Structure 1
Amino acid sequence: MTTEESILKAARKVFQRKGLEGARMQEIADEAGINKALLHYYFRSKENLFEKIFSEAFEKMLPAVSGYLSEATNLRQFVVFFIEKYFELISEMPYAPQFILQEINRNPNLIANLTGKFGLPVELVKELIKREADAGLIVPIRPEHLMINIISMIIFPFAAKPIIMTVLFKNKQQAYDEFLNQRQAVIADFVLAAITIKKCDQ
């Protein structure tokens, strides 16, 4: 394992434990078994480190996610796939939403470039929506709204974890974890119920 690989492995562990805000370069250096000066030689800041980790995670998951979503043959299947894969991505890096929120104003181009790698399959969703709306199965909705609504519901519990933990779960990690485990099904049911046209009994 190269020095850079050791640093990235150590940084993932520290980010996982402390989040982006709580992580310190000295702690990452200690975890990697190197001195802080050498760490700064490879990565000048924890933001640079995180950008590298973030990019690698996106590039690793993107082919699988794109292939999985392209197999959807109806909107219900797409919604379930989309939620499942985004949850996998965010669960891999639960500190990512906080990083994104922190960097949006400081470095918007960075965030645009990074998130742009995980392209949203707008054309596929547009086709599925048109087909099912024409058949009277769902209410017409712009694909951008549908996907942003879903992504927002996925990301918020991670981005607002400190508030949710304190206010809703009295700082009990197990209760928060159980809540997250239920989110995929809850979001899918909520979204599908919102767009599905209910057929009245004759």
Structure 2
Amino acid sequence: MKKAKDDNTEGLILKAAKSVFQSKGMDGARMQEIADKAGINKALLHYYYRSKQLLFEAVFNNAFSLLAPQLNAILNDDSSIEDKVRNFTSNYISFINKHPYLPTFVIQELNRNPDFILKMKDNPGFPNLEKFKNQVKTEVENGLIKPISAAQLFMNIMALNVFPFVAKPLLMAFTSTDNDAYNQLMEKRKTEVADFIINSIKNT
């Protein structure tokens, strides 16, 4: 019973923290506000997480542990590069639509604490690009795709998928869209981004 109660309390904390971090950002978030939202006192919050940094890392790791295995599976399956681009883009956009705070969190944290990436990389679920690199090289050699390095291709995929979430307020202003319309644009990007990247690398 105690273990179940502990797990429930921690779940409430992580849910509250995710909400506060999403609306206030890392710097604007306050432990007292998180405790209030979780329905506990601040002392109990500090019992579970001694600092806001540790709480942030727990929230991030919780979400990352859901996304990373999906991306890793796509990068390391036996599908073609074209299918990998389509599946990666679709899965990433679907996931970030449910966890929109994540890209901004990562960028803010990398700017504030560059060593944070080392902790991420030590995560056993951190995506491994070795098979992807070898596959890109093979498909280039076989004339299936135009000459491009796997690193450049992966950066193109990440940039086109991540930036619209990070720059959402700016892009909403530029495109004169409200939140619902912007979400529809992001849904369409699942195919738009994939088609754009594939058309840029495919030998015709």
* Band of TM-score, shorter chain: 0.7 to 0.9
Question: Which one of 175, 178, 181 corresponds to residue 168 of structure 1?
Answer: 175
In structure 1, the gaps of 5 or more residues are: none
The one-letter amino acid of 1:125's match is F
- Describe the shift of the 1:168–1:136 C-alpha distance in structure 2 as closer, same or farther (beyond 3 A): same
Q: Against the structure 1 CA distance between its residues 183 and 43, is the aligned structure 2 distance closer, same or farther, given a 3 Å change threshold?
A: same
- How far does the alpha carbon of each residue in 1:168-190 deviate from its partner, in whole angstroms, 9 at most, with x for none? 235x1111111111111111001
Distance change in 2, residues 1:128/1:96 (3 Å): same
The aligned counterpart of 2:129 is 122
Number of corresponding residues: 196
Give the distance between the partners of 1:105 and 1:95, measured in 2 at CA. 16
* Residue among 75, 82, 104 paired with 1:76: 82
SS where residue 115 of structure 2 aligns? Answer: helix
* TM-score, with structure 1 as normaliser: 0.83
The verdict on how the C-alpha distance between 1:100 and 1:68 changes in structure 2, with shifts beyond 3 A counting, is closer
* Aligned residues: CA RMSD: 2.4
- Kindly provide the amino acid, as one letter, of the partner of residue 43 in structure 1: Y
Matched, 1:59 2:26: no
Greater displacement, 145-154 / 93-102: 93-102
1:120 to 1:33, Cα distance in 2 relative to 1, 3 A: closer
Aligned to 1:35: 41
Q: Which residue of 1 aligns with 2:10?
A: 4
Shift of 1:45: 4.1
Query: How far apart, CA to CA, are the structure 2 residues paired with 1:39 and 1:56?
Result: 17
CA distance 1:46–1:92, shift in 2 (3 Å) = farther
> What letter is aligned with 1:196?
K
2:199 to 184, 189, 193: 193
1:152 aligns with 2:159: yes
Q: Contact 1:11–1:49 at 8 Å: present in 2 too?
A: yes
4+ aligned runs moved over 6 Å, structure 1: none
